[in-house]
Every structure is written in structure tokens, then in C-alpha cells.
Structure 1
């Protein structure tokens, strides 16, 4: 039985027999997909089955490991910034951005990334970037250039 068939069988059995993928299985099946060894239809089926059952942290970690292994690592720290704060609940600059800026000033290359979908009555990291002189990149190439120059960049 192929790896993808084994994974589909694991997550697609009946409600009593199904289970999650291990982190290793998730990593290996994603690596096989990225290498063209697994078809789009098979991977879509696996993803739907995982989503219906609710993905586990191990599955997500395995997929992320596979994706990261194919990328050029140009930043020391990949820092997601997707959650916002309600307006009126924040005073001063967000601590996570201050920490990122301090690390960047110490020589650590930090790629911040977030969402442009601004929710009503929420402040996001992007709203504070200018106060800390953190540049917003319009593309991945621009982010790489900003990291070389300033050790920090925000990529929406």
C-alpha cells in the first residue's frame, strides 16, 4: 500500500477506527506531495478527511516541517502575527513587536508575517510597525532585501 493510501486509510476509517496521522506520517506524505509523488486529488481527499476530523498539532507540525524543508531559510525566526487586540484594550506598543525589534537590533533576522484582513474594532501588529521603524515588504524578494538591510521585515 502506498504512503498516501495508508494515510487516507488511517484518517478515513469509520468513526470508531479512524485516527490522526503521526507527525512523521504527515511530514512524509507532504514531502511526497511536494515531490510530485502524490496527486492533487489524493492530497485533497486526505486534507478533507483531516479537516472533518479536526487536525491535530502533530499533523500540522509535520506538514509545516515538510514545507519548511523545501524553502530557502533566509530568516532566523519566522514570526506569525495574526491575532489582534480589541481597541481600548491596549496601551503602548505591543510587547511582541518590541521584543522582535530588540532581537533584530541584536543581529537576529526576523520575518514577521500577518494578515491584511482588518477586523472592525481590532488593532493588529501592522498598526504599530511604523512606530518601531519596521518596514512592510510588498513581496518575498523585498522581504529578503529588508532582512539583509535591517534584520527585520513584515510580510502581509
Structure 2
């Protein structure tokens, strides 16, 4: 893939994410209100509105796709290596989306023990897999945004990414 095509892809993906989050928030507004989430699910802690996702998700996706773009098209890499590397990026992204969706689904269905085990399971993953990469963080946040909003998964994902960077 050429750099110019990846830049266009970056624009399209950021646009789709922006439209999706705004559509979700507008739908929520007209169907009972936009939810708020408390840190650590403790009502004594401050509430964070899902409206912050309208700003955070487009900025986060643009920044993380920029980081992927910068890593894929480094001066050392050749065109054939770019294709293989982009496949790895897509696999990591898909795995992170699935993992984030699994956590969100288990939480929604009330399997709190399983949710806790999955969250703690990220630490062994950090030893063997590079979960600190931009595509992993973006996939994780997108997978959990429908259930938890964008702010809490972003904060937790950044924390896990920092831990994962020092584990590998």
C-alpha cells in the first residue's frame, strides 16, 4: 500500500468512527438519555458522560492511525515488507476489537467474575504479545466504547499499554 492511500484510509476510518459515535450519542439522547459511567463503578466517584467520546474517539483514532502510518512507512521498510506488516497490524487490531467486545459483552450480561478474569488476563498477554501498539489500543477502545463510553476504556487501555511496554 502506498503512503497516499494509507493517508486516505486514515481519513475514511476517522470519518466513519466520528459518524458512528455521533450517531450512537444522538440515538442515546433521544432514547432515554446519554449514559454516564462512574470510575470503578462506584457511585461515590465522579461520573463521566459518554458525550466526551464525541471528542475523544475521533482524536484518538486520528492520532493512533498516525502512529501506525509512521511505523508502517518508516524509511527502512520495503514495499513487500509493508504488506506483511499491514497484515500484522490488522490481525492485532481485530484481536483487540474482539477482546474488548468480549469484556464488554461479559460485563453487560452480568458475568462479573469472568470480566475480572479477562481484565487480569491482559497482564499475561502483555508478556507474550505487543499489546502496547497503537492498533491494539485503538481496537480495545473501539470494542468497549458501546458499553463503557470512550473515556474509561481509553484510560484503562493507556494504563495497560504502559505496563505492557515495560513487560516485553
> Fold-level match, TM-score > 0.5?
no
Rg larger for: 1
Of the two structures, which has the highest relative contact order with CA contacts closer than 8 Å and spacing of 6 or more? 2
Q: What TM-score results when the alignment is normalised by the length of structure 1?
A: 0.29
**Which has the larger strand fraction?**
1
TM-score normalised to structure 2 length:
0.27
